[in-house]
Amino acid sequence: MLKKIGRCLIFGGTLFFVAKALKDNWSEVASVRIDAAGWGILAIATGVTLMAHIWAGWIWTWILHSLNQSVHSPEFVIVYLKTNIAKYLPGNVWHHYGRIVAAKNAEIPVSIATLSVILEPLLMAAAALITVVLLGRPLALMGANLLFLLLQCVALAGILIGIHPFFLNRVVNLAQKIKGSKAETNPQNTYRIQRYPLRPLIGEFGFLLLRGSGFILTIFAIAPLPIRQIPVLIATFSLSWLLGFIVPGAPGGIGVFEATAILLLRHRFSPALIIAAVGLYRLISIIAESMGAGLASLDERLSQDETNQT
């Protein structure tokens, strides 16, 4: 009960902050205009964001391969895109559940499917933290004092150590024992992760770069943007996305991402520009994810029709 109340307070608090910022700057936000070139840039931002989600689905297949599972990558990318939109449902876990069910239907052990959907956000978080540590120094993020930098490094070290095969193999074995799986008699379930998931981790930087590029393009569609601000915006996006990702009670990071971005950038850009940009980017993200789910469903339906015809 207390956990549920805490989530509601966090969600409500962030939405209140965003609403107050919008109220205080409403006249400036209402004066923002987007010309024809700006709408074209927003369309590109939507396409780039869609590419980011397709790329993230591909990385998920890399994770499954690193867990010794032979999967048809395009099929699982489609699963990823179809389930991605479910993260906006209350609980923020239904997209993970959908992927686990789909992997189980593809005869992947539940313990491995579960581990893959746990690893994926951990690798995303690690990539975001590394980006913030490397690019966040000139930001003065949240004061950017020594304690904040230390906390970043400790969290990053914990994630990078936690995804080492030494620990991952023990998690898998524990999950199998709890589930009561008979790995000794089923060779398909006897495996050990041999290598550090370096390739998927590097791939997550591509995901963040694509998502961050979509955010930068959204700002650029509203107002000119100096090139020197790009590292600052990438670092800001990474931290805002990360907090929206890990803070409970915010489906899809709604409210948390926007509040963090406004808080970090309000002294570098016009508050009206940032408020308008984060609002537009949230809309672009939802549109891109809906397009991904729609295209994945269409592709799946066309494939089924071809199979039925043959």
Which helix (H) or strand (E) element contains residue 4? helix 2-24
- Whether residue 96 is contained in a domain is answered as yes
Structure token pair of residue 265: 């950038």
- Structural domain including 218 reads 49-301
Q: State the number of CA atoms in the 13 A half-sphere of 79 facing the CB.
A: 24
- Whether residue 42 is contained in a domain is answered as no
Structure token pair of residue 307: 């199979």
Structure token pair of residue 308: 């039925």
Q: What pLDDT does residue 207 have?
A: 95
Q: State the number of CA atoms in the 13 A half-sphere of 142 facing the CB.
A: 16
Give per-residue pLDDT as tens, 263-286.
Answer: 888 888 888 888 899 999 999 999
Interatomic CA distance for residues 148 and 136, integer angstroms? 11
Taking the chain, what is the end-to-end CA distance rounded to the nearest angstrom? Answer: 54
- Using only C-alpha atoms, the chain has a radius of gyration, in whole angstroms, of 21
Give per-residue pLDDT as tens, 229-258.
Answer: 898 899 899 989 988 888 766 677 788 888
Whether 188 has a pLDDT exceeding 80, the answer reads no
- Whether residue 41 is contained in a domain is answered as no
pLDDT band at 14 (very low <50, low <70, confident <90, very high): low
For residue 236, which phi and psi values (nearest 5 degrees)? -60, -45
Which position has the higher pLDDT, 177 or 259? 259
Whether 56 has a pLDDT exceeding 90, the answer reads yes
Find out whether 115 and 168 touch, Cβ atoms under 8 Å: yes
Is 263 strand, coil or helix? helix
Domain count, the chain: 1
Structure token pair of residue 298: 């269409």
Cβ-Cβ contacts under 8 Å for 189 (sequence gap 6 or more): 109, 176, 181, 182, 183
CA 181 to chain centre: 32
- Whether residue 157 is contained in a domain is answered as yes
Q: What pLDDT does residue 185 have?
A: 37
Return mean pLDDT, the chain: 80
CA 135 to chain centre: 19
- Whether residue 25 is contained in a domain is answered as no
Find out whether 113 and 103 touch, Cβ atoms under 8 Å: yes
This prediction has a pTM of: 0.83
- Whether residue 24 is contained in a domain is answered as no
Structure token pair of residue 151: 């906390």
- Whether residue 40 is contained in a domain is answered as no
Whether 182 has a pLDDT exceeding 50, the answer reads no
Give per-residue pLDDT as tens, 92-131.
Answer: 788 989 999 999 998 898 888 888 888 888 889 889 888 8
Which of 52-61, 205-214, 267-276 has the least mean pLDDT? 267-276
Structure token pair of residue 50: 């869609």
Interatomic CA distance for residues 288 and 297, integer angstroms? 14
Find out whether 78 and 54 touch, Cβ atoms under 8 Å: no
Cβ-Cβ contacts under 8 Å for 27 (sequence gap 6 or more): none
| C-alpha to C-alpha distances, 38 to 126, 198, 234, 293, nearest whole angstrom | 33, 38, 20, 26
Helix boundaries (H) for 138-197: 146-162, 165-179
In the block, which residue shows the tokens 């956000």? 121
- Whether residue 215 is contained in a domain is answered as yes
